[in-house]
């Protein structure tokens, strides 16, 4: 089904605007953001969100050739929403950078515990589990302690 001429024109204007903003970013903003010396943990998290947004825009411009590619539009829209939510949380929570970094460790610990539990229930499974056991032994108590203090 063809788009109405007005809708097609709006889409062309949207892409022209995105391309123009992307070029502005590359020439004026990107260098400033990526050249910070000794950024704080909070500044690193904001920079990571900026980079994630830049990647979403690059992905959009490189892969989206027509509006029928709705999965790409949805993925980019979700990425933009996640970035906006994370930036809002960073702005409102002084411990946000520590929580974001810890969340990744908590997820690794959770996955390691699931793998070890699976291996214990299924000893014949072709899952080694040694690396996960070592991670739990070396980092589990620390991660649980820090998580307990940050996420009260």
Average pLDDT on 59-68 reads 69
Same domain, 88 and 104: no
pTM score > 0.85 for this model? no
Assess whether 48 and 65 both reside in one domain.
yes
Residue 69: pLDDT band (50, 70, 90) is low
One domain, residues 102 and 79: no
61 and 103 in a single domain? The answer is: no
Range 40-67 average pLDDT: 80
Average pLDDT over residues 9-33: 82
* 47 and 118 assigned to the same domain: no
pLDDT over 90 at 126, yes or no: no
81 in the same domain as 115: no
Report the SS3 class of residue 117: helix
Say yes or no: 101 and 55 in one domain: no
> In terms of domains, do 75 and 115 share one?
no
Q: Are residues 87 and 125 in the same domain?
A: no
Domain count across the chain: 2
Q: Does residue 24 carry a pLDDT above 90?
A: no
Higher pLDDT, 138 or 38: 138
| Cα dihedral sign, 44-48-50-54 | positive
Final residue belonging to a domain, choices 46, 72, 92: 92
Report the percentage of the chain scoring pLDDT > 90.
25
Range of the domain at 144: 97-150
Please check whether residues 64 and 85 belong to one and the same domain.
yes
Residues of the chain with pLDDT > 70: what percent?
Answer: 93
**Which has the higher per-residue pLDDT, 143 or 15?**
143
Helices (H), 70-129: 70-92, 96-121
pLDDT of amino acid 65: 63
């Amino acid at each position: 089904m063809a788009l109405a001429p007005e809708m097609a024109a709006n889409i062309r204007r949207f892409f022209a605007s995105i391309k123009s903003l992307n070029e502005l970013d590359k020439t004026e903003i990107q260098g400033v953001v990526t050249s910070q010396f000794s950024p704080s943990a909070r500044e690193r998290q904001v920079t990571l969100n900026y980079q994630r947004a830049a990647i979403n825009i690059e992905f959009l411009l490189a892969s989206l050739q027509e509006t029928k590619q709705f999965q790409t539009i949805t993925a980019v829209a979700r990425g933009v929403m996640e970035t906006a939510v994370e930036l809002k949380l960073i702005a409102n929570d002084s411990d946000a950078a520590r929580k974001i970094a810890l969340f990744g460790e908590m997820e690794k610990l959770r996955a390691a515990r699931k793998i070890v539990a699976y291996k214990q229930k299924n000893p014949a499974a072709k899952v080694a589990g040694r690396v996960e056991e070592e991670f739990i032994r070396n980092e589990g108590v620390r991660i649980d302690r820090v998580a307990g203090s940050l996420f009260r």
